[in-house]
Each structure stands twice: as C-alpha cells, then as structure tokens.
Structure 1
Amino acid sequence: MNPKSVLKGRGAQLNVPNRFFEFSHEIRDDFLEFCNKEGENPDKKKTQYLEVFPKTIVNKIKSPDVGMMYSMNAYQGCEHGCIYCYARNTHEYWGYSPGLDFERRILVKKDAPKLLEDFIKKKSWKAYPIVMSGNTDCYQPAEQIYKITKQCLEVFLKYKHPVGIITKNALILRDLDILKELAKYNLIIVSLSITSLSEKTRRILEPRTATIKRRLDTVKTLTDNNVPVNVMMAPIIPSINSHEILPLAKAASENGASSIGHTIVRLNGAIGEIFTDWIEKTMPDRANKVLHQIENCHGGNLNDSRYGARMRGEGKIAEQITNLVRLARQRYFKDIGMPKLNCDLHEPYKNGQLKLF
C-alpha cells in the first residue's frame, strides 16, 4: 500500500454507507478527473460544527456491563478520530456515516447546560452520578470553542451533584479550578484513557488526541490536586498494544492513578469494515494477524454483542490479557481504588441554594 494513499490526520480512511439509507454516495473517477481539471477539492477535509437542539441531555444506560447508569454527551461525533471507537455507529442515527463523517461532522448541543440544570432540578430526581462522555469525548477539540463541558461542570458544582468524566484530552486541565471544588465535596471522578506508551502507535490509532506524555502529566496534575483518576487501558488490541499492559499500568501508578480498567476491542456494526480498511492501509504487514487475533477473542468474529462477554472477550488471547491486567492491579494498585461519589448533598440545592428549613 502506498503511504501517500493514507489520509493523514484522520482515523477512518473512508465513509461507509449509512445502513439506514436506501441509497449510498459514491465518488466516481470521472468526477475526480473533473475536479482535478477544475482545480477543485472533491472532498471537504475541514471539520464542520453543526448545532443541534435535543429536548433532553441525560440518558439512562440500560446495558448491564457498561458500569454507569446515566450519561450525557455535549457533542455527537468526535474529532479525535480513534479508529476503534464504538460510538461511530451512533452517527448513523443522525444521518451520517460512521466513517469520516464521524470525525468531520461534529454535532454541538449548545443547550446542554440548561437541559442538564432542568433535569437535576426535577423533584422526582434522586442524585446519582452522571457520566460525561458516555459516548463521545466531552473534551474533544470542539470544547475549546464552545466550552459546553465547562458550563455543565459549573452546573454540577452549583447543585452539588456527582459527576464522572471520561476523556483522553489534556484540555480537562483548563477546568482544574472547578474540578478541585467538586473534589472537595467528593463529587468528581475522572477516567483518563491511555491506550499506549508509544507515540507512533498513538498517532495512527488516535490521530487527534493529546500526546501520551501530556496525558500522563494530566493524571499527575489531577491527582496532585486530589482529583481521583482511573486510567482506562481501553481498548486492548492484540498485537498492537496488548504487550504494553504492565508498563502502561506502571506508568499510570507512578503518576498517581488510583485504579486501572480495560476492555478488549470489539468491532461492532460498521466499525469492522472501517477498522479492516484502516489496518490494511496503515499496518499491512500485520493486518491479517491482528484481525485473526481479534476474531479469536470473539468466537471467530470481529464483534460479540453478548453482555458480559463483549468487552472482556473469550479464548486464550483474551484470557492472557485478563490475567495481565489482574497482575498489574496486584502489583501497582493493591489496596487502593476509586472513591464512591457523594450522592447526599444534592437534594437541598435543587432550588439553587441550601434550604434553611
């Protein structure tokens, strides 16, 4: 494969058809030739930010193996471009492709802070941790422009409501002052995703994310300021980052993380085609090996949708990965763990101020 054929700065290398559409879009050779003669670019590479106006922002999670009950997403689509991202398929619900569209057409929910405030002020609502980024990263590049995540954190602090954050972007440190205040009341936990210690791997696997050094520095800065951090080694991909489990856990521990978590890659829906195309272009020498080892973890398929098995995998390779993670926990995280968030403070603050009577 000619390296020039790889689309740099993006994870997906193509737009697969939307499964909900009867028709598909195809760029033909004669159109490409026309664009070349006219000096036009047939493919708009620039990221587009599109405002949307949902009626609600907090989602109840029904999947029993996700580890959260409520989540919210300020953005749909994610410019980070992680090739393995399970959230790609959700872009089809908005009428876009889970391929390049997922990275280049970012839907922005500017009303999220107001919707969040209305939700947690409901008389019927009993405080329970709401996780930001249950689907797409709340600190992706769009956050530098719109600051929706920061406004939502201010809402959580105002109403003393527990919140979790999942991110792989050092931009979270911009809001350190708010996170420190939330931590004083035991209202915040952060899960920082770090999938490799290799910058070469990071650049092709997660092309628009923060560097590994910046992420490790972010773990240290947060923990130095008493903000509890869990490092997510997710996903583990056989023969790409599976050999890094112990050194990655060691680095997380040395920078102050309280725990680690992991999942094994599963290429659900359209992601199987997107990932296969990507690895054949970026890692042609080991593409077959990686794909076959992923299949080994999921009963001969690239994906397993069964609750409980889908994120941990089965078979010898999955067992080896699980054992390595268990060993890492015993070696680097023995007798420590993430705190339980405080759900008892919120009720008196529903009207915006502490009730006196």
Structure 2
Amino acid sequence: MSAITPESLPSADEARAALVALRREVAKAVVGQDETVTALVVALLCRGHVLMEGVPGVAKTLLVRTVSAALSLDHKRVQFTPDLMPGDVTGSLVYDQHTAKFEFIKGPVFTNLLLADEINRTPPKTQASLLEAMEERQVTVEGSPVALPDPFMVAATQNPVEYEGTYPLPEAQLDRFLLKVTVPLPDRASEVGMLGRHAAGFDPGDLRAAGVEPVAGAAELRAARAAVEQVRVAPEVLGYIVDLCRATRQSPSLQLGASPRGATALLRTSRAWAWLSGRDYVTPDDVKALAKGTLRHRISLRPEAELEGATTDGILDGVLASVPVPR
C-alpha cells in the first residue's frame, strides 16, 4: 500500500463530498439509521469511539460492516462473552519452538474499525483491556508499546433490556467513548422497505452484491481531520459549551454531571458536525445537535429521579432549554 503524502491528499471539499456520500452507500444495505451513521463518521473525524445501544436485530453489526466497506477500512468483530480473556482482544505471547523465543500474536484490536459486540457481557478485566487501546492507541507488550493502525475506532454495542449476566461499564470506561448513540427500531415505512429488500434476495453477508462501493478511504479521512481542526469557534460558543456542562453539574436530578472532558468532547464533535455541514465555524445549533449524543453517557441520574421516571435525555433536554443561547 503506497504511503499517503500531503501532495496526494484530496482537498477538504473532496473529502467532505466523499464522507457525505457515505450515507448513500450505507443506505444500500441499512435502512433508516442516518443518525448512527453520522455518529460513526463524527467519531472517525475526532479520533473517538462510539457506544451503540439498541435491542437485538436493529442492524448494529451490519451497520458497522457497511461503514467499513464504504470507507475501505479493515474491520474485525469480537463477540464479548463471560469467558473472554484480555489476550483474546489485545493479543498474546506465544512460544515459538523453532526460535525458542516468545512471539507476540496480534489480537483483533489491531484493525481500523473494531466492533466490540455486547461489550457489557464480558467481565471488567476484559473490558479494561480496551482502555489503553482506546485512549493511547497502543497495546503494551512486555513493557513495550505496540502502535495500533491509524485510523482506529472502537464501535461497541450493548443491549439495554437484558441485565442478567452482564457487567455494566464503569464511569471511567464510559467516558472513553466520544459518543453514545441509541439505535432505534425502524419506523413502519423503513421496515417495509427492509422486508422488500430481503424478499428481493438481499444477503446481509454479501455487501458487494448489494451495491455497496468504497467512497472514501484513509486519505479522505486524513484530509477531513485536518480541515476539522481549522474550524473556528467563537468565545461565545466556547462559553455556551461550558455553561451547558456546568448546568448538568448543578441539576438536582443528577448525581454526576459532565466533566471538563465532556466539555472538550462536545467541542470536538460540534466542530466535526459544523464541517460536515459545510461551514468553517461552529454555531450554537451545532452544539445542540451533538449535545445529547456526547453527554448522555457522561451524566448519572440520582436514584430517586430514576424512580420518578426521569431519563438522561430528558434532563439534557431541560438543560438545553434553560441555558441561554449566545446571539
């Protein structure tokens, strides 16, 4: 594979057009999940990770496979189970009898797009094996760091309705995810369209037959990331982001509000969304559009508020309605 040089990078406009076209390609295999596709693209632009929550059968796995195919990215899938060990994710040392030395065999984490399926079904020690990879983008082997590929993103899934035999992610690990997306059930029209495709012979295992073609790659992502870093943020918008996060810390319904890391995450996702929308500056509406996805997993309800039927999304709606928007 040839190296990507600054001269070979596409322009920012070409990169944006390629990433916007991603939705069209994904729609050839997955119906009605535009918000989740956008979250994956935003996370890739921000070098972040995505936690997808939804009931079984809403095409979470197919979605990740389709996105990786449309972006020409390598992907691997790990089914997280109670007996999965950390080495099954990161890799392990294996003794080679021919050389009389231990050789590191890379695990599935060495990929561009890792699908961590049902991450809350594996014990904490295996969940924690992803912490270094997600934050430092490396795996330590015998005290020496081994770099992961670039780009690298974890797209993890969890089932919100089953709690028996699961291990809820601790706050520290939830905070490693840039975005948390609720993958909804499709509306009636989308579900009818999905069944129509299956009736016509659609095979989820054969994306090429479905017409999914690569529309972007590592070069477009690199150009897009460079462009996102140039998106301007006015001091008033910075203050608005801080005020939103501080309001969550003062909410009587929350026992844990958004941390300063949550504020920086909201800044990053807002810049990426502004760039995808064709602007080189962030507006308060960009902040509002990404606020729930960026903050919903970084706040925690008080038990009494939860008993009264409050939800994190409902609290965030109230915060967005109460914090003054800069003019």
| TM-score bracket, shorter-length normalisation | under 0.3
Which of structures 1 and 2 has the larger relative contact order (alpha carbons within 8 angstroms, sep 6+)?
A: 2
TM-score scaled to structure 1, two decimals?
0.26
More helix as a share of residues: 2
Given the two structures, how large is their TM-score scaled by the length of structure 2? 0.28
